[in-house]
Chains A and B, each alone.
Chain A
Amino acid sequence: MTVPHSVRIAALVLATTAFYGYVGQLVPQKEVQPPQETVLKADMTTADMVKIGGELMVGKGLCLTCHTIGKSGALRFPDLEGVAARATTRIPGLNEIEYFAKSLYEPDSFIVPGFNPGMPVINKPPIGLTDQEILCVIAFLQTLGGTPTVTLQTSHAYYKAPGATPAAPGGAPGNATPTNATPAKGPVTP
């Protein structure tokens, strides 16, 4: 009894494809959902913004694909632990909100010493966070070694809040930064 070669060939092709299909089942299976569109309400408190900013950092903003929080060693991108404390002094003349805005809207204008440029512009596609979402991210970043002070009414060099009212309501405690100081420079995006 000999099996015809055509049958053997068919069996070999079937077995090979089945084997590779099986290899595909052995690796971790993960389905990646497209990022959810978060709805930003106009009356959010700073605490709400921190929460949404944290979600944006993990999800739509893809920040934590590269950045870490609380890791040390050989890193490709700066660690964000305690970044709010460093941000106040990083560029003379810029407070931490202006510094965060600068590094999100124009990532290549200032590179942390010891790292390579490589961060995308956050308010442009493919990441494309809106100005309000970026404010939330800044609020979250402020909690890393500082106190969040921004609100949706905060303006900075890249964003002019509609009907900007002076400072954060109630005044931020401690080293409250003049969040609504007239934009130092740069164009005011509508």
Chain B
Amino acid sequence: MNILVVLAVAAVFALLRFRRANLLVWAGAWWVGLYVIFRFGFSAPIPSSVVSLYMGIVSIAILAYVSSSEERREEVSRPLVRFMTETRYAALLGATVVAIPALAAANVYVQMNVPLEPPLFPRTVHPASPTEITVHDKKIDLDAGENPYLELAISHPEEFRKHVENGRRVYYQNCVFCHGDNMTANGMFVHGLDPIPTNFADQGAISILRDTYLFWRISKGGPGLPEEAAPWDTAMPAWEKFLKEEEIWDAILFLYDFTGQKPRAKEEVHTQ
């Protein structure tokens, strides 16, 4: 809730109460007040379709209330009748008569003037991966597996550097065009893409993913995405058709090495 808006509406109501306002004023105040609360009173804004639904109900309810007894009907119609019959309000009445169609026209103008928006396809950015995939006739266990060359970092640091360098080659031959020189997703093709490629430099990107998840995304690409991630919304190719398994693993090593991040650990680590 947006406390300030709610407080403001409450203050206006209190003022009306204090001034002993006419029922007609109250009816208008309730309508406007509730509209303001529905429209601006929530920190996560309510969509306009729901707001108009609610306001329809509010309108009917207010109409029902002001006409629900003889006194109330009397109290509401008295100022209205006076407004329409007494000569001193003639100018105001004329202005109202002009204002009503003008408001309708303005409303149409505003409605027509909204910028065009593409239709929305809800998309999951990181859908759950399968437990197992097949790349080049080899089954890769995505749950239990990990980068086979990662362990070299400790046991054979030289060998490991070789793999990282190979990964650098793979990256700059294939990935750089979209993911960019600094891995900040500003490659030269980016402007034609929607959604834009993943920014690896972002702390919340590859560090929250397992390296096997990256392997799945690289090898299967956009076509391999499950239904809810809307295949073909992303232009990522299925790299298994162009790269060897080792090259993909090496590129992954390079990604983490270049950005100074670490892949997310296996689930068991957390439960210990």
Contact = CB atoms under 8 A, between A and B. Distances in A.
> Do chains A and B directly touch (beta carbons under 8 Å) in the complex?
yes
A146 interface: yes
Contacts of B127: 70
Contacts of B128: 70-72, 81
A131 B132 CA distance: 28
Q: Kindly name the residue among B49, B124, B226 whose own CB sees the greatest number of chain A CB atoms within 10 A.
A: B226
Q: Kindly name the residue among B49, B137, B227, B228 whose own CB sees the greatest number of chain A CB atoms within 10 A.
A: B227
A145 B143 CA distance: 11
Interface string A62-81: 00000001111000000001
B28 interface: no
A82 interface: yes
Nearest to A147: B134
Given A173-B137, A174-B139, A82 B132 contact: yes
B130 A144 contact: yes
Interface in B134-168: 134, 137, 139
Interface in A51-106: 69-72, 81-82, 85
Contact of A70 (B134, B137, B228): B228
Nearest to B228: A70
Interface in B17-63: 49
B131 A145 contact: yes
Interface residues of B, number: 13
Contacts of B137: 173
Interface in A106-153: 144-147
B132 A81 contact: no
Task: Name the prevailing secondary structure of the A interface residues.
Answer: loop
Given A173-B137, A174-B139, A71 B130 contact: no
A70 B226 contact: yes
A81 B139 contact: no
Nearest to A58: B227
A136 B137 CA distance: 22
A82 B131 contact: yes
A101 to B, nearest CB: 21
A144 B131 CA distance: 8
B226 A81 contact: yes
A173 B227 CA distance: 26
B47 to A, nearest CB: 13
Nearest to A27: B49
Nearest to B229: A70
B226 A85 contact: no
A26 B137 CA distance: 52
B85 to A, nearest CB: 17
Interface of B: 49, 124, 127-128, 130-132, 134, 137, 139, 226-228
Interface of A: 26, 69-72, 81-82, 85, 144-147, 173-174
